[in-house]
Amino acid sequence: MVASRWDQYRRLVQGRTAKRIATVADARRLAMRRVPRAVFDYIDGGAGAELTLGANLSAIQAVQFRPRVGVTMGVPAPELQTSVLGFPVAMPVLMSPVGYTRMMEPLGDLAGVRAAGKAGTIFTLSSMSGHRMEEVMAAAAQPAWFQLYFLGGRPGAEKLVASAREAGFSGLVLTLDTQITGNRERELRHRVGPPLKVDLPTMRKMATQVAVRPGWLAGVAHDRFQLSIVNTEALGTAGQPMSSEDAFAQWVASPARWEDFAWLREQWRGPILAKGVVTGDDARRAIDSGADAIIVSNHGGRQLDSLPGALRSLVEVVDAVAGEVEVLVDGGFRRGADVVKAVALGARAVMVGRPWVYGLAAAGQPGIERVLALFREDLDRTLRLLGCASVAELNRSNVRVPQGW
Ligand SMILES: Cc1cc2nc3c(=O)[nH]c(=O)nc-3n(C[C@H](O)[C@H](O)[C@H](O)COP(=O)(O)O)c2cc1C
């Protein structure tokens, strides 16, 4: 397919912007400058007083390294490759599901899955995507996972699972911490969604924000304002698409429960991961219910406020699981050194949410690629400085955790 002038121009601008990203914090700053405030606050904000959001970062800061010097591993480079549930990945950094990416930048999840392919890692597609599952899988160069919300209730979930299976996703991530949406106070202030609607009240509320973000506006206009989620359309009956309002209402009426693993198992041959576990008790419950892996996650501080940082919860979960299943973690990981801490504390890999969408919102696919490259470079550097030849070698002796953890 021949790229249009517009695509060529976008790629040029995004490529240039991506070069200015030297840290995830840079990507965040550039994202803030490129998208309207309401969109940025949707990405960046947390629930309530944002205590969980802050705890994610401070828990990572509280863990320190215990290096071994004099055993330099300069050549060959440390081995970053590992596997998650048997899927090989080039580094222990995977991509968490993020909703409404198409309103951040039109290529949204397509850019995400392509960047994952280039980085040799696993992309997780949110149920709340603006792109169809089969479109995303067609762009995948690596195995990808689908994250399930019970949109349209259990009948809707069954259809989503069937579509994910047909599209070729290899893992199913069941998010358990979203019984209702957390109280994201920054979003409440804007009162414009998501989904952003193309109607007069929304335009009125956003007019001043959008006026100073012409690049964003040009992008979504060129994309014909496709700002809503699309995989719910197939959930209707008698050939009628289901509206997202109906899909959400039925989801809230029947959020995912441990009992649901039984019927999911009948319909899904691949691994099922339980996302949103933050205690040892629930980790045991996940194993008893048949989960193949656990994702320790507080939803990036967007759901229940006043939780411990995810890295702290990881330690509790890893102890409770005692090696029976693989444990992943997300929440607050912003550099390779953060990832090294989690792997040393027993995570099979780390997942990142905001880092990749800051990259996306700042500079499209090149922005995501840059962010993933930064994680990779810092993983390499940190392992060398620790005196560690591979991620597989990392263990608790490489870190010092605060007393009482
Ligand atoms: C803007 C945004 C949207 C999200 N949407 C979803 C979603 O649709 N499904 C889901 O399971 N998690 C969702 N999450 C949570 C992420 O999957 C992940 O748990 C979290 O972002 C990890 O924290 P981090 O952003 O600090 O890396 C979302 C997170 C963000 C920031």
Helix, strand, coil % (nearest 5) of the chain?
A: 50, 10, 40
Q: Going by CA atoms, what residue is nearest to atom 30 of ligand 1?
A: 98
CA 181, CA 48: separation in Å to the nearest integer? 11
What residue owns the CA closest to ligand 1's atom 1?
Answer: 43
- Give the Cα separation of 65 and 245 in Å (integer): 48
Which atom of ligand 1 is least distant from the CA of 97? 17
Catalytic residues: 299
First-to-last CA distance in the chain? 54
Residue of 302, 311, 356 to mutate, ligand 1, most atoms within 8 A of C-beta: 302
Instruction: Tell the residue nearest (CA) to atom 14 of ligand 1.
Output: 98
pLDDT at 309: 98
Residue 193 has what pLDDT? Answer: 84
**Token pair of 339 as six digits:** 């990832």
pLDDT of residue 1: 56
Which of these, 169, 226, 142, 184, lies nearest to 46 by C-alpha position?
Answer: 184
> Contact, 274 vs 291, CB < 8 A?
yes
Q: Return the pLDDT at 242.
A: 86
The pLDDT, as a whole number, for residue 245 is 86
What was the pLDDT predicted at 2? 65
Q: Report the atom number in ligand 1 closest to the C-alpha of 127.
A: 8
Q: Which ranges of the chain have pLDDT less than 50? A: none
Q: How far is the CA of 126 from the centre of ligand 1 (A)?
A: 9
Q: Output DSSP code: residue 128.
A: T
- Atom nearest to 175 CA in ligand 1: 11
Q: Which CATH architecture has domain 5-54+81-374?
A: Alpha-Beta Barrel (3.20)
